[in-house]
Amino acid sequence: MNYRHAFHAGNFADVVKHAILWRILSHLRKKDAPFRVIDTHAGTGVYDLQSPEAVRNPEWRGGIGRILADDLRSALPPDSDLLLSGYLDAVRAQNPGGRLRFYPGSPELVRAALRRDDRLIACEAEPGTAAALARRYRGDRQVKTIAIDGWTALRAYIPPRERRGLVLVDPPFEQPDELSRLGESLVAAARKWPTGIFLAWYPVKNDAEVGAFMRTLWRSGIEKLLRVELLAESGAGTVGLRGSGQIIVNPPWTLDEDLRAILPILSKRLNAHANDPPRIEWIGGARANSALRDA
């Protein structure tokens, strides 16, 4: 895929992924005990939507551009607008003049959610991107940036000393075997930190590859696995990218209910494929999809 994020910042996949990320962070904030977030493939932190990469193919117009231009409150069930307001407020905070120019990546969204004793480890391997990330958070005592391969970071930094928190895994998918690697790495990481929350993004491109990925996770025996997918309209994203997929290991209580409230609305606003409603299903434990059990 060669997924250089500067080309795709703020697109439909980012909106879905970051809305879910914010809901998980909101749940973590409900308890007083501090938490740690480990972002294995962090990127630069913030993206300029007027950069040459973004201007060349402005995917953000079909993503965050549509969401901010729309009034979602009238479409959401009562009080459900609160499920999205924190994420959208974090985007607006990057654009105080009201004109959408900058989009916060996952490290910046996490940083906006941290309380005084919460921490973020932001990892990035690409040298230029890692340098930009380090400059952005230089002097921030709550954020530690590390120039390291994300797969190595996934093994090295768990479990955190806080013993509660989230690992975000958002690989570039530049190698043909990266989806199978994600499955194996997630299983190993969840065994090392059984109580940790893991949020992993994957591209929906090839049904056979996604099916094999799901079977790897199901056969692992991990009890709490939530699968979330949203298919995009034709031509909405990267060439060959049909949808945005997320796997959540140990999702917070009621997260699936949160997503059942907001994803149909996001789907409609993002012009997702009309014949494919958002997929929200359990693939671990007794609630697992029977198709996986029979595979």
Enumerate the active-site residues. Answer: 170
Question: What three-state secondary structure class fits 148?
Answer: coil
Give the DSSP H or E segment for 186: helix 178-192
In the numeric block, the tokens 């932190």 are attached to 45
Q: Is 170 exposed, middle or buried (0-12, 13-18, 19+ CB in 10 A)?
A: buried
Give DSSP secondary structure letters for 118-146: -EEEEEE-SHHHHHHHHHHTTT-TTEEEE
Percentage helix, strand, coil, to 5, in the chain? 40, 20, 40
For residues 97-110, b (16+ Cβ closer than 10 Å) or e, as one string?
eeebebbbbbbbbb
**Tokens found for residue 99:** 């004109």
Q: Do 8 and 238 form a contact (C-beta atoms < 8 A)?
A: yes
What type of residue is 281? E
**Residue-wise DSSP of 24-42:** HHHHHTTSSS--EEEETT-
